[in-house]
Amino acid sequence: MRGSYAAREEFFQMTVSNICILGTIAVYLVGMLIIGFRCARKNESSADFYLGGRKLGPLVTAMSAEASDMSSYLLMGLPGLAYLSGVADVGWTAIGLAVGTYLNWLFTALRLRRYTQETGSFTIPQFFSRRFRDDKNILAVLAAVIIIIFFIPYTASGFAACGKLFSSLFGMNYMTAMIISAVVIVAYTTAGGFFAASATDFVQSIIMTVAIVFVLVFSTILAGGIDVVVENAKALPGYLSLTASYIEDTGKSEPYNLLHIITTLSWGLGYFGMPHILLRFMAIEDEKKLKLSRRVASVWVVIAMAMAVLIGIVGRALSNTGLVDQLHGNDTETIIVRVAHLLSTYGAFPAIMAGLILAGILASTMSTADSQLLAAASSVSENILREAFHLKISEKKSMLAARLTVIGIAILGIIIARNPDSSVFGIVSFAWAGFGAAFGPLVICSLFWKRTTLPGAIVGMVSGGAMVFIWKYLIKPIGGVFGIYELLPAFLVGLVLMVIVSLCTKAPSKEITDEFDRVKAMGKAK
C-alpha cells in the first residue's frame, strides 16, 4: 500500500514538473511567433525584409550577432565536449572563438558597414558583386550557392539539437520534435524577416544567459560545491590541462600538442566569413555605435562560453555522484538537458526554471537557424533570381521567393538531421569551416586590399570552399599531421590563391580603386 502511494506521488510530481516545463516552453514559442508576426508590419520592401532597413540599435546589433553565432553548440556542443574530454579541446576552441569575435568586430564591422552603404548592398553576395563590378554576377551566384550548400547542414545541426532535447527529456519521437521546432522557426522568419530574426535573437540571448547562469549555479550546488567539482576533475588524467586531453575509453590522457592548439584556435578565423553575423554589421543604424556593440558582444561571448565549459565539467561531477547518468559519445551533448530534468524534480518553481533552461537551448538553436535561413533566402531571391537570371519580379514576389527558400532549406535540414545519433558539434564544425574558408579571405581582401581582382576573388572563394571538402574527406583520414581541423588549411589555400591570381591579372579599374579609397578615407567611429 505504502509503495503504491509512493508510486502515485512520484507520478504526480513528474506530471506537474512536465506540465511546468512544457508550459514554459510553450510560452516561449508563442512569444517568438508573436514577435515574428508583429515585425511583419515593418517590412515595406525587400531591403527591410533582408536587412531591416539598417535600423538596428547597438544592443540589438550586438546581442543579435552573438545569439545568431552561438548556436546549439553553446549549450550542447561545448558542455558536451568539456564533459567528454576535459578542458584542452573545448578551451582552445573557446579562446579562438573569443579572439575571432573581438577581431571581427574591431576590424571588419566598421569597414563593412561603410562599404556596403557606399555600394548600396544589403546581402553579402551582392556586396562581393558590386565591390568588383561583376556585371555578369558570377561572384554573387557562386557566393549564393556556397551559402545554400553550407547553411543546409548548419540549419540541420539546430534541428538535431531540438530533436535531442525533447526526445531525451520527454521520450518524444526525435523526428516529431525536429519538425515542430522547424515549423516555429520557419513561421516567424518567413513572417517577420530580418526585423523578426534580430528582435527574437535579442530576446533569445537574454534567455540563453539566464539558462547558463542558473544551470551552472544549480548543478554546482548539487555536485557538492566547487571544491568537489575540482577534486573530481583532478582525478581524471589530463582533464583540467590545456596541454593534454582525457581519453574516456582508456581512462588516460594524451598530449595536446602545438599543432592541435593552432588548428583549434583557427576556429576564430571562421568569424570573418559568416554571412549571418556580417549582416548585423551592415544593419546597425549608426556606425558610431559599433564601438558599444563590440564591447557588449565581446564580453558576453567570453562569459557565455566560459560558463558553458564549466557546465560540462560540473556535469561530469554530477555523473560521478550518481545524480546524472554516465554519458558517452555524442550523448554527452545532452548533459544540460539531464541537469534541467534533475532540476524539475525539486518542485514547481524549479520545474519552471528547468523549462526556461530548455527554452534557452531552443533559443540558442533558433537564434542561429533564423539568421541562416534568412541569409540563404536573400541569396536565392536577390542574387540568383533577380541578378543572375535577371527576372523582373516585384518586391512581393521577391519576398515570396525568399519565404519559399526558407521552407525548402528547412525541409532539407530535417532530412540531413534525421539520424538521432548525429553530432551537433560535428555538423557545426564542418559548416563553420566552409564559410570561414570560402568567405573569410574574400571579406578581408575586399575590405583591406585594393589590389584584389575579380578573378582572384572567384578563385580564392571557390578554392577555399572546395578545400574544406577535399581536406575533410580525402586528406584528413590519412591522420598524423594531416588530421587537423579543415578550416585552417582551406583558409590559407583560399587566401594564397586569391593573392596570387590577383597579382597575375589586370589591376582593378580606377572606378573600383577610387571607391576603395573613399571608404578607407572615411573617419573612424568615435
Place of cell 581541423: 485
> Given a cut of 90, is residue 280 above it in pLDDT?
no
Which whole number is the average pLDDT over 463-480?
93
In angstroms, the CA 212 to CA 303 distance is 10
In angstroms, the CA 460 to CA 62 distance is 29
Confidence band for 256, pLDDT divided at 50, 70 and 90: confident
pLDDT at 125: 87
Rg of the chain over all Cα atoms, to the nearest angstrom: 23
Counting DSSP H helices and E strands in the chain, the numbers are 21, 2
In angstroms, the CA 80 to CA 283 distance is 34
Distance between alpha carbon 92 and the CA centroid of its chain, in Å? 17
Which whole number is the average pLDDT over 241-255?
88
In angstroms, the CA 453 to CA 445 distance is 10
pLDDT at 227: 93
> Given a cut of 50, is residue 6 above it in pLDDT?
no
Which whole number is the average pLDDT over 329-341?
82
pLDDT at 194: 64
Q: Which of 60, 50, 70, 145 has its CA nearest to residue 365? A: 70
pLDDT in tens, 89-117: 999 999 999 999 999 999 999 999 999 99
10 Å Cβ neighbour count for 237?
17
pLDDT at 475: 94
Q: Which of 147-161, 319-333, 396-410 has the highest mean pLDDT?
A: 319-333
- Burial string for 145-166 (b: 16+ CB within 10 Å, else e) reads bbbbbbbbbbbbbbbbbbbbbb
Q: Which three cell numbers stand for residue 472?
A: 575533410
Least confident of 84-93, 194-203, 351-360: 194-203
Task: Give the DSSP H/E element, type plus range, for residue 255.
Answer: strand 252-255
Least confident of 98-112, 162-176, 465-479, 508-522: 162-176
Cα–Cα distance list, 435 to 48, 53, 262, 272, 432 (Å): 25, 25, 19, 9, 5
User: Exposed, middle or buried by CB within 10 Å (0-12, 13-18, 19+), for 243?
Assistant: middle
pLDDT at 311: 92
Cβ distance 269 to 256 under 8 Å?
Answer: no
- The better pLDDT of the pair 467, 212 is held by 467
- Burial string for 189-223 (b: 16+ CB within 10 Å, else e) reads bbbbbbbbbbbbbbbbbebbbbbbebbbebbbebb
Query: Percentage of residues in the chain with pLDDT exceeding 70?
Result: 85
> Given a cut of 70, is residue 1 above it in pLDDT?
no
Least confident of 77-91, 222-236, 379-393, 467-481: 379-393
Give SS3 for 254.
strand
Which whole number is the average pLDDT over 208-229?
88
Least confident of 276-290, 398-412, 499-513: 398-412
Q: Which of 27-31, 135-139, 186-190, 206-210 has the highest mean pLDDT?
A: 135-139
Could you please report the per-residue DSSP string of 42-100?
G--SHHHHHHGGG-B-HHHHHHHHHHHHS-HIIIIIHHHHHHHH-HHHHHHHHHHHHHH
Confidence band for 423, pLDDT divided at 50, 70 and 90: low
Cα–Cα distance list, 403 to 34, 68, 143 (Å): 18, 19, 19
pLDDT at 379: 73
Least confident of 118-127, 207-216, 307-316, 481-490: 207-216
> Given a cut of 60, is residue 12 above it in pLDDT?
no
pLDDT in tens, 369-402: 766 777 777 777 777 777 677 777 676 777 777 7
pLDDT at 191: 64
10 Å Cβ neighbour count for 14?
14
Cβ distance 172 to 166 under 8 Å?
Answer: yes
* Mean pLDDT over the full length of the chain: 82
Q: Which of 1-5, 215-219, 392-396 has the highest mean pLDDT?
A: 215-219
> Given a cut of 90, is residue 486 above it in pLDDT?
yes
Place of cell 527576372: 391
pLDDT at 525: 43
Query: Domains in the chain and their CATH numbers?
Result: 20-521 (1.20.1730.10)
> Given a cut of 80, is residue 455 above it in pLDDT?
yes
pLDDT at 11: 42
Confidence band for 474, pLDDT divided at 50, 70 and 90: very high
